[in-house]
Amino acid sequence: MADTTGRIKCVLDASGDAVWELLVVTHIDLDHIGGTLSLLSDKSIATRFQDIWFNGRQHLELGRESMAVAEGKQLAELLVRDGISWNEAFGKDAVCLAADDAPVCKTLPVSKAAITILSPSPKGLAKLRQLWDLCEEREGQKSEKHAKGTGVAARQDEPNVEVLSAVPLSIAEMAETKTSTDGSVTNGSSIAFIFEYAGFRILLGADAHPGVLLKSAAKLSQGTLSFDVFKLPHHGSSANVTMRLAQKLPARRYLLTTDGERHDTHPSDIAIARALTVTPDAELLFNYPNEASKRWANRPSERGYRFKVRAGEGEEGIRVRLDAAPGQGVP
């Protein structure tokens, strides 16, 4: 978000001469690009990153919520300035899966951290290309008419069944609740990836579609892929965290990144229940102290579930430390 720019600058300033190898702009939804656009307007900051991954309009020729097309164009203009690396790891082409939808692995040059792309697919970017062009053609029209005519607006989550229920539902009952899946074109273009370093494995899900993540993960392993931390896709939406996804990609800690003010169903109790059904003793990490974090922190104990809840301190956010296993040092 645009109003987080100051906090990000503080982190960069406090890092001294540290090398920032990569900045990933997942997709062009405003809540994912607004802060980056403000941040990179300062060229002295933009040039600190060894590479910036972002799929602009020129990366959407792949046959060889409101959609922030204008912001996407502005960011592209900022990234073409001298001294700024843009999608260098991909030969300046699109950051996405291979032509056969196989995951793509990259190694960062300094830290040797490994990144495995799980989303988007070439098909997902092709859909974004069509929508991007349509939005540009209709530029200047009222946003309400624009969203209705292009199908940009993402479907809302189902009402929070735990809040609306007269009788508190069990975690298993919530997890089994039938929900729709995300069909947003912009979310389908999200850059989601596995980050591996010093023996740790983290999954950053952006707003990716569950079907794309599942298909990519299946090409990596026929079994489950366990993680130290999983940033649940689309802020913990039930439309993006399906039961199959939770079973395929279990984690010790689930990160839910939203203040919950814009969509009171993000994060969804249904999505959280699905994750806990697979990892009953997981730690739920909320970057803001929102209504969902309070509900789960104050939830009566339930047999078989020993999960913990931790929330950030308002504007200070939350810090997650991963301790190295015996014999593994973290540089």
Distance CA 285, CA 38 (A): 27
Domain boundaries, the chain: 2-316
CB crowding 86-95: b at 16 or more within 10 Å, else e: bbebbeeebb
Non-local CB neighbours of 34 within 8 Å, separated by 6+ positions: 1, 2, 68, 71
Kindly state the tokens that stand for 211. Answer: 């079907």
Q: CA nearest 259: which of 232, 289, 230, 298?
A: 289
pLDDT of residue 154: 44
In CATH terms, 2-316 corresponds, of 1.10.10, 3.30.2020, 1.20.120, 3.60.15, to 3.60.15
Distance CA 111, CA 312 (A): 28
**Angle of the 122-137 helix axis to the 143-150 helix axis, nearest 10:** 140
Cβ–Cβ < 8 Å for 42, 12: no
Q: CA nearest 283: which of 227, 200, 225, 233?
A: 227
Distance CA 40, CA 288 (A): 25
**Angle of the 30-40 helix axis to the 5-14 helix axis, nearest 10:** 50
β partners of residue 196: 114, 201
pLDDT of residue 137: 75
pLDDT of residue 145: 46
pLDDT of residue 15: 87
Distance CA 18, CA 14 (A): 9
Distance CA 216, CA 192 (A): 11
pLDDT of residue 71: 84
* Gyration radius from the chain CA atoms: 20
Q: What angle do CA 144, 188, 241 make, to 5 degrees?
A: 105
Tens-binned pLDDT, residue by residue, of the chain (331 aa): 888 888 888 888 888 888 899 999 998 887 888 888 888 988 888 999 999 999 987 777 544 344 577 888 888 899 999 889 999 999 999 999 999 999 999 999 999 999 999 999 999 999 988 887 887 777 655 444 434 333 444 445 565 655 545 457 899 999 999 999 999 898 999 999 999 999 999 999 999 999 999 999 999 998 899 999 999 999 999 999 999 999 999 999 999 998 777 666 779 999 999 999 999 999 999 998 889 999 999 999 999 999 999 999 877 788 898 876 544 443 3
Distance CA 326, CA 329 (A): 8
pLDDT of residue 151: 40
Kindly state the tokens that stand for 122. Answer: 């070439």
Kindly state the tokens that stand for 226. Answer: 């366990």
Q: What share of the chain is helix, strand, coil (3-state, %, to 5)?
A: 35, 15, 45
**Amino acid (one-letter) located at 316:** E
